[in-house]
Amino acid sequence: MPGNTGNAVGSNVTTVNVDALPGQDTLGIAIVHIDFAPYGGLKPPHTHPHATKVLVVLEGAPLVGFVSSNQDNNPLFTKVLNKGDAFVFPVGMIHFQLNIGNTPAVAFAGLSSQNPGVITTANTVFGSDHPPIRMC
């Protein structure tokens, strides 16, 4: 059954990690199922500080990519994927997925840690509980 993509970003993520399945503890793997709405379903820029991710497309045509490190002048690596294609997101790199197709997209991912962590870039920077910086 598809996940609900009727939200602000048009995607739904179902995660199976050590929190959801304690038997995974010490096995070094987490699993993610992602549903994307047509025309713009987005998994916003984020990072997994403890894991590399391998994403496999089951349906649809998402545009995926990641930004490499500052020492390399921050190159952006992108690719439009199709059914059966895979893409690797290196540990700690900011990455995204965006459905550019006119049908829903579905992807499955494996991560190299039972607790990969996730940091959604914009939420972390702009949703912090610290008071705003005041410029004088």
Q: Which residues are annotated as a binding site for Mn(2+)?
A: 46, 48, 95
Q: Which residues are annotated as a binding site for oxalate?
A: 48
Q: Answer whether 44's CB lies under 8 Å from 96's CB.
A: yes
Distance of CA 75 to the CA centre of its chain: 18
Neighbours of 121 (CB within 10 A): 15
**How many CA atoms lie less than 13 Å away from 90 in the CB half-sphere?**
7
Q: Which residues are annotated as a binding site?
A: 46, 48, 95
Whole-angstrom Cα distance, residue 58 to residue 55? 10
Whole-angstrom Cα distance, residue 101 to residue 19? 33
